[in-house]
Chain A
Amino acid sequence: MAKDEEFDVIIIGGGPNGMTTAAYLAKSGLSVCVLEERTECGGACETVSPIAGARIYPHAMLMYASPAPGFDQLELHRYGFRMEWDPADLIEQSQGGLGCSDGWRDITPKDQEGWAKLGGMLGQPPFSKELMRATFWCPPHPADIEVSDENTPYMQVYRKYQPDIWTPELREMTMFDLLDEHCETEHFKTAMAFAAWASGAAGHWEGVAVPAALCVQLLTLPNMGRTSLPRGGLHGYFHAILRCAVHHGAQIRTQCPVDEILIDDGRAVGVRLRETAASGGLTMRAKKAVIAAVDVHQAFLDLVGPKHLDPGVIQKLKDISLKNGTLYVSTFHTKQPLRFNSKYEKGACNAKRVGPDRQPAAGIFPCDSRELYYENVADVDGRKGQPTISPEHAMWFHTPSQAFDPTDCQGSYPRGYISAAFEMNVTSPDLHKEGEDAPDLHKEATDRFMRDSFSQMLDGLDDDNVIHHWSATGREVEFRNTGLIGGTWCGSRHDEDQLWTNRPIPELARYRTPIEGLYHAHQTSGHPGGLCLMAIPYNLMHILIEDGVAEPGAWWYASPYYIPEEGKISAFMR
């Protein structure tokens, strides 16, 4: 057996959070090793080729991270980060409508204005970047600081730049309340609330109106993500992060699953690898820190284990709610391209089409009313198991992002057509009333249900035309990607009880753990949750600076809304 290896920091998990943390720490001059269980790093930022020449994005496919400080702190452009933008789409989007059961309905100027205002676009100057950073890119306040209107970062930003949005009720509202106040049409509000639900924070939850609205804003505001796609998909974005880490000396080990975090006298001192690991069943030592960038259940219940945690904490960790469902993604390989059916082929900017093939961009469907939204929510969050809603009422969305990239298969695949992804929220396997294996047993029926639903708007999903229907059940999602706990995409619910200073539980909200030298950095385990934002690593850096683990160079800047913990080194540094 080889000698133990030793690093300053060992990071368990090579997904976007683990790798971004590695890049930050390696750039700070620490020796870092990332241990990834799968054959390829990237976690949910993955690109898969199920047949030669076709690319599909089974998980992350939209770029939410644009305002991230990581772009300039890590200088991702120097590592090849490029993004594909389609100006034509932007125009179509602003002129386009939303698909409803009776056809396209317009997005009105008042909808647009209200939405732009919420996102900071109408301030003098516009303050979108500031607003987004305050909301997502700032660590939760220390436990002894009471969260108030005065110190909540987004409240501070609104008060400063757009006081007419600020109200004393803003922190208590639902996103629907906010939309009712600022936007006009029911279908627009329904669509945005649905997008928020699919992004992890639902439109009807109290106390998360602003984070819910802003995570959708990250996609829709023109100079943020809009519906843009990094070259090579989110995995291309991830590559830039990985290469930054590697360039600064981080070691990356794939196929190295960890079986145990080694704890000596209450302090994390290293990890033990699984026997089948590509390095062999080695022990690796960490001088300064072990960072668990895997889901919160795996990290604490398996890798740390009950002998190092008190039962109260364990129970709370077990109770973390996954109730927001799992996105069931379908991608189609067809003989003929998909087409809008007769009801939708006209209207809404002559039916939105994007990409080299001018394939349909269906958007969110059907967005008739919030009653429909609630019907869908009840089906999924009500734990009914398989969809019981009718295919006509099932809400889904179609992400045309893939179509923007001319290097992608849509423009050049010679043996038919590859569609962009269709997504529908379904019950998480852990909460399926027939048990966690049920989604796999019902896969064929679920696939058919999906095609029936999508066929409300599109032609071409009949058996004669479909060559492949690629999908993965929540169970398969979990198998492929153990960090997508319960098959949920954002890890766990982004609700009031599980966000900001409550994420994942108040005791762990600042990325520290009861084990000295052990930190966590995963979408399930820290604010602001999922969406591949480079936010958890940035926020965690504040804490690692406080604890004296990291001393970044002059390139570092802290969030202006961050509150240092008493008696620690301030991450403002200089």
Chain B
Amino acid sequence: MPAGAGVEPERPNMPNFKYESKFRYDPNDPFGHMQEEFPDESEFDVVIIGAGPNGLIAGAYLAKAGLSVAICERRFEVGGGLATEENLFPCYASNPHVLYHMMVDYMPALRDFDLEQPSLTWIKPNAQTGMVFEDGSSLLLARQVQDTKDSISKFSYKDANSFGRAVRDWKRMVHDIIGPATYIPPLPPIEMTMAMQRTPLGERMMEIGEESPIDIITSTFEDERVRTLMLYASCMWGLDPRESGLGFMVPLMLDRTMNKCYCYGGSHKFAGALAREFVKHGGLILDAAAVESILIEDGRAAGVRIAHEGRTLRSKVVMSTLDPHTTFLDMVGADNLPAELRQDIEGWSWDKWSFNTLHVAANEPPRYAADDPWIDKCFATVLGIESVDQLLAHWDSVVDGRLDLDSFGGHSTCESLLDPTLSDRPGKYVSMFQIHAPYDLEGGWIDRHDEVMQAMLAKWRKAAPNMGPESIVASTMEDPGEIEIRFPQMRRGSIKHGEYTPLQMGSFRPTQDCSATDTPIEGLYTCGASTFPGGLVLGGPGYIGAGRVADDLGIDRWWKPTPEMERYIKDYLEE
């Protein structure tokens, strides 16, 4: 069964799980079933919980390696956050969750599988992130550095030059270190420090790591507006602006915010391509199959039980892509956990904020009252924020469970500008406006739904005067509670399954014992957003998990590290 590295194994003829068929059609039994169904008892090498990006990636690698693999997905559709849905029903589809794909340049899965390449298309526009201000001025972070410098120079020549210099170093950090390291099991802090000391670039990265985002931004840039946009882009995904220890995420976030991609046809298209790769190699997907519990026998994971239908899938390995509470406390059961692990898991902290998102279908794309026509073409546009202080105050209030509707901002995207396929109806543009938002909003989301929605529409219209009722034909707003309803593992609306803090990142994510995807429970692996390197469709946990499971089952890996990873291993990790 094992195939040599780099050699594609023969595709098995059928999904290769084991079961005993008990079906027999009996015309005399009026209540008997006429067609066979998936068996009540079945046996696999690997069962994966959750068909999000990590589950699909892990499944695709392992199925292609010749293992029998099942993925159990609670929802009616695969993809997890890689969703494209008709949430402006009827007729208008949008991406209710993942919209910006930041790691397309590095993700090994995109190179190791052909993913029906002609149809999986990434769009990386030059105009990446814009910011508009009340006085009509604007800033632009472009994919091409000189365009960004030109925009910054409207406010400060000095900052434009600082940006040019800094971004050169930051890009190298991402390209040589952080990008490839995303797909290699994490090192404990001391070993990491020693590895980084091998090169000047690594040393600079360690230095920057000790600073807080706000320190990095204010020491690099002098202009208030430039600082505001840089801070927004650095911390929009939940990095604490004042916390030191994760400063290396600033170069990563800024570099990636200028290199994010749109998945043509919507994010779900990526999920569909991964799922087909998995199925092609004999993998089985059970959708609408919520896992009720992970079977533990003699202290090791032995399979899963599906809720509501009494079906059991037995396996040598169970991989969970869910959050730590769901995996360990709910599915394994607190009583089955070693005391230390249980304590760590119970101490897990959720994202410090979530998102509230307004989706609209309109006759026109937003046209911003801004001095730069490129702003209307931006992949993302930040609006409503004028200064660093205002931004910090907005985030602080969100952390406190409040939304100051007189002073808030967020980012918007018109998906239809990049993707005319999203709406069947001609002439209609699908756009979204997203703000950072508390899970527990003072006054409650249900009661304040209309108030918040009106405030967001007013805010948007102030920045883009054509976004009024004369243009908008459909709208819907999704609050943090609804993120949790759609994806229960994003507890409290935690899109990353848990906060980014020094104690929950790197080799500490989700715990020191579990960050390389294996866990103290034999046969159980964690490979979702709560495991190193984290969320935001990095595809790292699933990739690392697949490698670890292949090694532990004694299967040769058919895949090889990417060239960036090989260079990183050679420069930083090899003896």
Within 8 A of A (CB), among B330-352: none
Distance between Cα atoms of A243 and B286 in the complex (Å): 11
For A276, give its contact among B266, B420, B485 (CB under 8 Å).
B420
Q: B184 at the A/B interface (Cβ < 8 Å)? A: no
Q: Assess the A278–B89 pair: CB atoms within 8 A.
A: no
- Does B299 count as interface, using CB distance less than 8 angstroms? no
Majority SS at the chain A contact face: loop
Total interface residues in chain A, CB < 8 Å? 78
Other than the given A53-B485, A56-B89, A223-B34, 6 more pairs (CB < 8 A) read: A49-B85, A87-B31, A278-B265, A407-B289, A415-B485, A476-B90
State which size class the interface on B falls in: 35 or more
5 contacts between A and B (CB under 8 A): A49-B85, A53-B485, A78-B15, A129-B25, A407-B289
A80-B287, A82-B38, A223-B33 given; A278·B91 CB < 8 A? no
Asked if B118 contacts A5 (CB within 8 A), the reply is: yes
A71 with B31: CB separation less than 8 A? no
Establish whether residues B288 and A236, one from each chain, have CB atoms under 8 Å apart when the complex forms: yes
Which residues of the partner chain A approach B470 to less than 8 Å between Cβ atoms? none
Among B48-100, those with CB < 8 Å from A are 74, 76-77, 84-87, 89-91, 93, 96
Closest to B93 in A: A39
Does the CB pair A39–B421 fall under 8 Å? yes
Among candidates B76, B90, B119, residue contacting A480 with C-beta atoms closer than 8 Å: B90
Q: How far apart are the CA atoms of A121 and B266 in the complex, in Å?
A: 48
**Do residues B282 and A39 form an inter-chain contact, with CB atoms below 8 A?**
no
- Complex Cα–Cα for A384 and B186 (A): 70
Tell me if B246 is interfacial: C-beta within 8 Å of chain A.
Answer: no
Q: List B10-60 residues whose CB lies under 8 Å from chain A.
A: 11, 14-15, 23, 25, 27-39
> Per-position contact with B for A33-56: 1 when CB-CB < 8 Å, else 0?
000001110000001111111011
Q: How far is the CB of B115 from chain A (nearest CB, A)?
A: 11
- Cβ of A171 under 8 Å from chain B: no
Given the contacts A66-B34, A247-B280, A254 and B119 also touching, CB distance less than 8 Å: yes
Answer whether residue B290 sits at the interface, using C-beta atoms and an 8 A cutoff.
Answer: yes
Tell me if A39 and B268 are in contact (CB < 8 A).
yes
B131 in the interface (beta carbon within 8 A): no
Q: Any chain B CB within 8 A of the CB of A405?
A: yes
**Which one of A5, A51, A66 lies within 8 Å of B87 (CB-CB)?**
A51
Which of A98-106, A187-195, A227-235, A456-464 is the interface stretch?
A227-235
- Chain A residue nearest to B31 (CB atoms) is A222
Given contacts A39-B266, A40-B268, A407-B74, contact A243 B309 (CB under 8 A): no
B482 at the interface (CB under 8 A from A): yes
Digitize A43-81: 1 where CB-to-B-CB distance is under 8 Å, 0 elsewhere: 000011111110110100000001110011001111111
Quick check: is B461 within 8 A (CB to CB) of the other chain? no
Q: Is A88 an interface residue (CB 8 A)?
A: no
Residues from 116 to 168 in B contacting A, C-beta threshold 8 Å: 116, 118-121
Q: Decide: A125 and B38 in contact? CB cutoff 8 A.
A: no
Chain B 463-505, CB within 8 Å of chain A: the 1/0 string?
0000000000000101001110110000000000000000000
**Contact assessment for A79 and B15 in the assembled complex, using a CB-CB cutoff below 8 Å:** yes
Within 393-417 of A, Cβ neighbours of B (below 8 Å) are at 405-407, 413-415
- Among residues of A, the one whose C-beta sits closest to the C-beta of B120 is A278
User: Given the known A-B contacts A232-B76, A246-B276, are A80 and B30 also in contact in the complex, defined by CB atoms under 8 Å?
Assistant: no
Bound-state CA distance A146–B121 (Å) is: 53
Shortest CB-to-CB span from A41 to chain B, Å, is 8
A279 at the interface (CB under 8 A from B): yes
Contacts A39-B265, A52-B485 given; indicate if A278 touches B280 (C-beta within 8 A).
Answer: no
Q: Which of B119, B289, B481 is in CB contact (< 8 Å) with A279?
A: B119
